[in-house]
Amino acid sequence: MNKVIERSMIVPNMHLLEIESPQIASKVKPGQFVIVRGTDEGERVPLSIADYDAEKGTISIVFMEVGASTSVLARLKAGDEVATCVGPLGNATSIENFGNVMLVGGCYGIGSLYPLAKELKAKGNKITMVLEARSSYLIYWLKRYIPLSEKIITITRDGSMGQKGHVSRLPDVIHNMPERPDRIFVNGCTYLMAHTSEVTKDLGIPVVVNLNPIMIDGTGMCGVCRVTVGGQMKFACVDGPEFMGHDIDWKEFLARRKAYMTEETIFFRRSDAPAHNEGKCAWHE
Amino acid sequence: MNEEKTQEKTSKIDLNRRDMPRQSPEMRRNNFDEVALGYTEELALAEASRCLQCKKPRCVTGCPVEIDIPGFISCITRGDFRAGIKKLKEKNCLPAVSGRVCPQESQCESKCILGNKKAEIAIGRLERFLADWEAGQGKVDLPQKAKPTGKKVAIVGSGPAGLTVAGDLILLGHEVTIFEALHKAGGVLVYGIPEFRLPKAIVQREVDYLKALGVEVFTDFVVGKTRSIDELLEEFDAVFVGTGAGLPWFMNIPGENLNGVYSANEYLTRMNLMKGYKYPRSATPVKKHIKVAVVGGGNVAMDSARTALRMGASESHIVYRRSHTELPARAEEAENAEEEGVIFDVLTLPVAYIGDENGWVREIECIKMQLGEPDASGRRVPVEMPGSNFRMQMDAVVCAIGNSPNPLVPATTPGLDTTKRGTLVADPETGKTTRDRVWAGGDIVTGAATVILAMGAGRKAARAIHEHLTMENR
């Protein structure tokens, strides 16, 4: 069970993990996630699914190495096993022909948008990809997105690829498009999703984000993933993970996301893994 | 007639209910080891020999799983512990668990005739003694299984209801498979009830026993997500749903999403299942809290407040809106908590949580309550006292006000009817749901209740499932 088929670093600190799990592979739909535990002592980490192959019976995850638990995953080799891989959890994205859609991805989100892009394309949507990173060497999977999209826009902090800046350029980008997107999907670290939601607030375009809060069970039991959406308490694991970005209380969500940063760092320092970056998102600190 | 005779006898019998040795409060509030240490053989013999062996035992009528209580007690008196455990296991496949967490004082023991003299037999302690004695022997007797029927049963959830159904049906010759969403079997017994009240090794022992009998257990399998009930019905002849009451309630007051405000499920799962009490040797992080307020007055609230002390909190409060008399927790657990130093703020209701600039809870605002007229449950309704608001400094709040049933299975199973409260509609005698070949029991049907009631429901459902499966054969 849960045999590792492949684990490779696709760009610095960003890993692809392919796990054998025929049950999940035959069920999963875009927008869903799994909970993975590297070892028997490990913590339960929710991770978005970046690809799946029902015939081969495998699922793939793209994740960034940020702390103790992901550093365990980042050292897996083909043939190893992970203690837990459970899912598919959360609700699938509701996909229809929206017309023009824009997919904004950063960090692991560049990977987790891939199943969504394929499905949106199959439903006849015209896709504009926006990939955001600190620098050109952190952009990946362009080859996968070229056949799926009308246009790929890259935004890098240092200007080494595409437009210089970050996701706050989005209103400009949209303004210069021949056709406005009818819907925007954002996947990536919390900062990226919060920021995209903020800068698009006045555009009148629905923005769908895929939240990544701390979770334990992922089935509605613990309630640690709660988030305020439109003034109401929601559980990201069973009510989400997708919500309308403009309705989310991002300040609260960011605070909850960071709840254990100190403790994670303490554990990380005690473990064998090399310390780096203290649990923060390397791209959007 | 009988009663009179028994009355007569009481004057000669031993009214000294034997206490069970416990760790001292000062010791136990600093460790996660079990609080109650169990009877020694001498104590068990002394306690068992007090039993009057009533002709019409009232204790049995107070037991949801109808254990032959005088029967197993007389085995202890004879010193035949192996026969005693066998007798227990005829009706109860989890004696080490129920001997520890059953509310005996309101069930079997409340019916004991010696209760008139406030000296009821300590049935729970004797049950626990036998189960622990057997475990200590290192060799557990496996009962004879019935001839294989070729029928397959899927059990959804490995809590007390599911484990009971599994234990009963495997003995009747059916193939039994348990599906558990978490990575460890046991349900609330492993994620909820703390180590100091129910050591996890004991739950593991019970699960291993079922496995030895041939029960197959799949962990990390979420029915409703990994597979639906309908898909299970393609492969299995019957399905039992025992998914529990797993969706925590909050109070819908300001500040509930501040960091440091936990559901009891989260707090206890972090500590128990994820071994947070071993952090940082275990990977799941836990916060160090100084002053912890636990909202609620049930067993889960007591478990949380006592866990907080053991995690090093200098103050752990129970904040409860009614008075001490209405506490829904077992009297023994509330006493244990008090002895350990938990502070009881009764007739107190939180109205808001106040945080700092980083989103962490720092204070809780409460209002004082007074008791009004009794409500439908017979308990007096707490009424707010206007203008009595006050604040307490707290850096953590654990919300232990209850759970609603987990919606994953009902939401993904067409034709499986639910009540307004979200519980499954099921026949109280058989557990039969509104779907063909699907039974249910435990908290998913009753709403949050006790371990033994879930086991009782499991027993009834197992009987009904067996009847259904063997009926088809004819």
CB A158 within 8 A of CB A180: no
- In 3D space, the residue among B428, B449, B448 whose CA is nearest the CA of residue B440 turns out to be B428
Same domain for B254 and B351, yes or no, is: yes
pLDDT value, residue A264: 67
Same domain for B57 and B196, yes or no, is: no
Share of chain A above pLDDT 90, in %: 82
Instruction: Output the average pLDDT for chain B.
Output: 92
CATH code of the domain containing B72:
1.10.1060.10
- Residue B421, domain member (yes or no): yes
Distance from CA of A51 to the nearest CA of B (A): 17
The per-residue pLDDT for range B314-335, each reduced to its tens digit, is 999 999 999 999 999 988 899 9
Residue B5 clears pLDDT 70, i.e. is over it: no
Instruction: Give the residue from B380, B401, B422 where a domain finishes.
Output: B401
pLDDT value, residue A274: 42
Same domain for B416 and B388, yes or no, is: no
Instruction: Give the residue from B137, B168, B197 where a domain finishes.
Output: B137
Same domain for B413 and B396, yes or no, is: no
CB contact under 8 Å between A83 and B182, yes or no, is no
Give me the domain span that covers residue B127: 2-137
pLDDT value, residue B64: 82
pLDDT value, residue B6: 52
CB contact under 8 Å between A221 and B252, yes or no, is no
Measured CA distances, B444 to A188, B92, B249, B426 (Å): 36, 21, 15, 10
Which residues in chain A have their CB less than 8 angstroms from residue B263's CB? Answer: 222-224
Chain B residues within 8 Å of chain A (Cβ atoms):
181-183, 191, 219-222, 225-227, 246-248, 250, 252, 256-259, 262-263, 265-266, 269-270, 273-275, 279-287, 358-360, 406-408
- In 3D space, the residue among A179, A237, A146, A125 whose CA is nearest the CA of residue B246 turns out to be A237
pLDDT value, residue B1: 43
Give the C-alpha separation, A84 to A73, whole Å: 12
Same domain for B369 and B434, yes or no, is: no
Same domain for B188 and B204, yes or no, is: yes
Which residues in chain A have their CB less than 8 angstroms from residue B262's CB? Answer: 224
CATH code of the domain containing B272:
3.50.50.60
- Residue B263, domain member (yes or no): yes
Query: Which structure tokens are listed for B275?
Result: 């071994």
Q: Report the range of poorest mean pLDDT among B18-22, B51-55, B142-146, B399-403.
A: B142-146
The 3-state DSSP class for residue B151 equals coil
For the purposes of burial, counting CB atoms within 10 Å of the CB of B342, is it exposed (0-12), middle (13-18) or buried (19 or more)? buried
Distance from CA of A186 to the nearest CA of B (A): 24
Same domain for B122 and B160, yes or no, is: no
State in Å, rounded, how far the first CA of chain B is from the last one: 47
Q: Which of B257, B266, B280 sits opposite A267 (nearest CB)?
A: B280
Same domain for B294 and B341, yes or no, is: yes
Bridge partners of A49, per DSSP, are A61
Same domain for B316 and B343, yes or no, is: yes
pLDDT value, residue B92: 84
The number of domains in chain B is 3
Bridge partners of B223, per DSSP, are B227
CB A189 within 8 A of CB A109: yes
The per-residue pLDDT for range B153-193, each reduced to its tens digit, is 999 999 999 999 999 999 999 999 999 999 999 999 999 99
Q: Which of the residues in chain A have pLDDT under 50?
A: 272-278, 285
Interface size, chain A vs chain B, as Cβ–Cβ contacts under 8 Å? 125
- Residue B147, domain member (yes or no): no
- Residue B260, domain member (yes or no): yes
CB contact under 8 Å between B275 and A41, yes or no, is yes
Give the C-alpha separation, B183 to B158, whole Å: 11
Distance from CA of A267 to the nearest CA of B (A): 6
The 3-state DSSP class for residue B78 equals helix
The residue whose two tokens read 């994670």 is A264
Same domain for B325 and B458, yes or no, is: no
What domains sit in chain A, N to C, each tagged with a CATH number? 4-89 (2.40.30.10), 100-257 (3.40.50.80)
- Residue B117, domain member (yes or no): yes
Which residues in chain A have their CB less than 8 angstroms from residue B258's CB? Answer: 255
Measured CA distances, B411 to A124, B101, B222, B237 (Å): 30, 31, 13, 22
CB contact under 8 Å between B225 and A252, yes or no, is no
- Residue B146, domain member (yes or no): no
CB contact under 8 Å between B359 and A27, yes or no, is no
Bridge partners of B238, per DSSP, are B153
Maximal C-alpha separation, chain A: 54
ipTM associated with this complex: 0.88
Q: Which residue of A has its CA nearest to B260?
A: A259
Residue B342 clears pLDDT 80, i.e. is over it: yes
CB contact under 8 Å between B359 and A251, yes or no, is yes
- Residue B40, domain member (yes or no): yes
Section B268-273 average pLDDT: 91
pLDDT value, residue A285: 42
The residue whose two tokens read 């993975």 is A36
Q: Which of A69, A222, A227 sits opposite B269 (nearest CB)?
A: A222
Query: Which structure tokens are listed for A179?
Result: 């056709």
Which residues in chain B have their CB less than 8 angstroms from residue A233's CB? Answer: 250, 252, 256-257
Maximal C-alpha separation, chain B: 73
pLDDT value, residue B282: 77
CA A271 from centroid of its chain's CA atoms? 26
Cis geometry, peptide bond prior to residue B407 (ω within 30 degrees of 0): no
Section B243-269 average pLDDT: 94
Residue B115 clears pLDDT 50, i.e. is over it: yes
Same domain for B167 and B74, yes or no, is: no
What is the reported pTM? 0.90
Give the C-alpha separation, B101 to B103, whole Å: 6
pLDDT value, residue A266: 63
- Residue B143, domain member (yes or no): no
The per-residue pLDDT for range A47-83, each reduced to its tens digit, is 999 999 999 999 999 999 988 888 899 999 999 999 9
For the purposes of burial, counting CB atoms within 10 Å of the CB of B412, is it exposed (0-12), middle (13-18) or buried (19 or more)? middle
Residues 6+ apart with CB under 8 A from B314: B290, B291
The 3-state DSSP class for residue B385 equals coil
Instruction: Give the residue from B137, B164, B189 where a domain finishes.
Output: B137
Top pLDDT among B13 and A119 is at: A119
Q: Which residue of A has its CA nearest to B280?
A: A267
Same domain for B38 and B111, yes or no, is: yes
Section B228-257 average pLDDT: 95
Instruction: Bin A150: left if φ > 0, else alpha if -120 < ψ < 50, else beta.
Output: alpha
The 3-state DSSP class for residue A51 equals strand
